[in-house]
Structure 1
Amino acid sequence: MKAHVDVEWWKYLFDETYLLTDARSVCDEELTRREVDFLEETLRPNQSDPILDLCGGQGRHSLELSSRGFTDVTVLDYSQYLIDCGEKRAGREGLDTVFIQGDARDTGLPSQSFKFIFVMASSFGYFAGDEENRKIIIEAFRMLMPGGKLLLDLPNREYALQNFRPTSLHRVNDDVTVRRKREMEDDVIYSREIVMSAKRGCIRDQKYLTRLYSPAKISNMIYSAGFSSVTCEKDFMSRDGKGDYGSMTNRMVVTAQKSGG
């Protein structure tokens, strides 16, 4: 499977089918509220602080922050479809969340323009090699103000290695079923997702990957980008025993601070 994963798979996966197959995570409003509670408790932002939701998809965390009174929240994601979904919801709910389509490795946003940047829901590690993943951390460092903080929500490598499942199956609704096949090599999980509709047949057969990081390795990567402090917390929002949620089953949160401020 490794040789057949397109290095740019992330440009094509995140569409209307993704919102269907991953709805139990990325469209779960109660989970989103709990995750935003955690962001507030951990980062302790003021409501006027500029915040960037990097690789933020349809902006579920940012929209929740905006609904709580945060006034300077920006979402950046590569998927134009998800950006459009977020903008439509913001319009319906009267929220001023800003949505931008772009590449997290080179956003084009101004330097030192955000007090807080977060990457939620295992949206980091989409490249098999460290170099491209490191570019996202370097870009985040550039965009952070002195004293600003970066938070990464990652798969828990230790849990993933100990509980690796080569196959999974879950039913989305009466019509759609999702089957995933996985292989692991050198801390990379290569996955094939097959989405079947009883009415329409196969509606997706897509391969993708997730790069796993140990606390030590991700900390070294973050320090090498220039951050002055790094902390790691395992078992974030664990769903162990509640089914196979892939990289969202058991997670690790990494928080880093840029010196100064």
Structure 2
Amino acid sequence: MTCMTTQPWYVDAFTADYLDVYAHRDGAAAAREAKGALSLLRFSRERERLLDLASGAGRHALAFTAERCRVTCFDLSSDLTRRARAAGLSTVRGDMRRLPFRDWGFDAVTCLFSSFGYFRAEHEHADTLREIARVLSPGGRVLLDLMDPDTVATTLVPQGVDMIGDLVVEVERSMTSDGRRVEKAIRLVRGDRCEKSWIESVRLFSGAELERLIDGAQLELLQTLGDYDGRAYVRGTTRRLVVLRKPR
């Protein structure tokens, strides 16, 4: 039995159900990651402006706010942006490929939790990074939290089942045959009825592909790190956090 829709997966996925599926991503983890992100960005809390792209319900933005940052949330999901506004966060809904902000409007941009790489067409990732560069002030910095392709290949857990009350969350994970995307099929089942399903699909960028995207957006690569504490990036072992800068 199937209960798939024909919308892009990121439209199907990021509704109120998403918050249940990823309930283990809690505020304590977000607080640690936010502090690490601000340190990696060398962010000045007193005078700089931060844009949190694909901010969802504002888990990291709330942590940035607790760190006395001026943060704007941006997300496509109507459900999640509604939650962010209800939490008191400054929130704008829209598409990251066409940011509704003026040039040089922010001093730093974050795109966390593997939120860069959702789109199918290759030019859409380039469009997104160019838009990030456009709204960034000269000398401003970007933090992209990306999956490392080799780490995914060696650590991928093919299947899993979780229970959330009487809701069964069935998960199947795989990489595409060309190794360029990681996909996660999620089914929400209650009793004998599938209530919802979707397939998350995120682009995995090689080092050379990422360099071309960065060059195309006229940004500079400052650092590649393995986690929010600033540990070294190790191919095949860690995540890949990249810090970029817009030239002055």
Q: Is the 8 A contact 2:21 2:169 kept in 1?
A: yes
- 1:197 is aligned to 190
Equivalent AA in structure 2 for residue 46 of structure 1? S
Aligned residue-pair number: 235
Q: 1:231 to 1:215 in 2, by over 3 A?
A: farther
- Once the two structures are TM-superposed, the CA of residue 62 in structure 1 deviates from its matched residue by 1.4
Deviations for 1:195-248, whole angstroms, at most 9, x for unmatched residues?
1224x83221212211111233212211221013342113558xxxxxxxxxxx
In the TM superposition, 1:97-246 aligns within 5 A as 97-171=89-163, 173-185=164-176, 186=178, 187-198=180-191, 201-234=193-226
Displacement, 1:180? 1.4
User: 2 CA distance for matches of 1:82 and 1:259?
Assistant: 33
Which contiguous aligned blocks of 4+ residues in structure 1 show a shift greater than 3 angstroms? 4-7
| Deviation for aligned residue 1:139 | 0.4
The corresponding residue for 2:50 is 51
SS in 1 for 2:201: strand
**For residue 241 of structure 2, what is the aligned residue in structure 1?**
253
Over the residues paired in the alignment, what is the CA RMSD in angstroms?
2.1
Could you give the per-residue CA deviations for residues 127-184 of structure 1, whole angstroms, max 9, x where no partner exists? 233211111101000000000011101112111012233322223x332221112332
Query: CA contact under 8 A between 1:58 and 1:84: conserved in structure 2?
Result: yes
In structure 1, how many angstroms separate the alpha carbons of the residues matched to 2:59 and 2:137?
A: 24
> In structure 2, what is the equivalent of residue 87 of structure 1?
85
- State the distance in 1 between where 2:22 and 2:215 align: 33
Report the 3-state secondary structure (helix = DSSP H, G, I; strand = E; otherwise coil) of the residue aligned with 1:196.
strand
Cα distance change of structure 1 residues 143 and 162 upon mapping to structure 2, 3 Å threshold: same
How many Å apart are 1:5 and its aligned residue?
Answer: 8.7
C-alpha distance in 2, partners of 1:235/1:117?
Answer: 17
User: Quick check: 148-157 or 176-185, which moved more?
Assistant: 176-185
The one-letter amino acid of 1:141's match is A
The residue type paired with residue 17 of structure 2 is T
Contact kept, 8 Å, 2:156 with 2:174, in 1: the verdict is: no
Change in Cα spacing, 1:6 to 1:255, as seen in structure 2 (3 Å) is farther
Kindly state the Cα deviation for residue 63 of structure 1 after the two structures are TM-superposed: 1.6
Query: Aligned partners of 1:146, 1:116: CA distance in 2, in Å?
Result: 10
1:22 maps to 22
Identity of aligned residues (%): 26
> C-alpha distance in 2, partners of 1:5/1:219?
35
CA separation of 1:232 and 1:7: change in aligned 2, threshold 3 A = farther
The answer for unaligned runs of 5 or more in structure 1 is 91-96, 238-248
Deviation at 1:80, TM superposition (A): 1.1
> Which runs of 5 or more residues in structure 2 are unaligned?
230-236
Q: Distance in 2 between matches of 1:208 and 1:82?
A: 17
Measure, in 2, the Cα distance between the counterparts of 1:253 and 1:8.
26
Is 202-211 or 148-157 further displaced after alignment?
202-211
What secondary structure is seen at the aligned counterpart in 2 of 1:180? strand
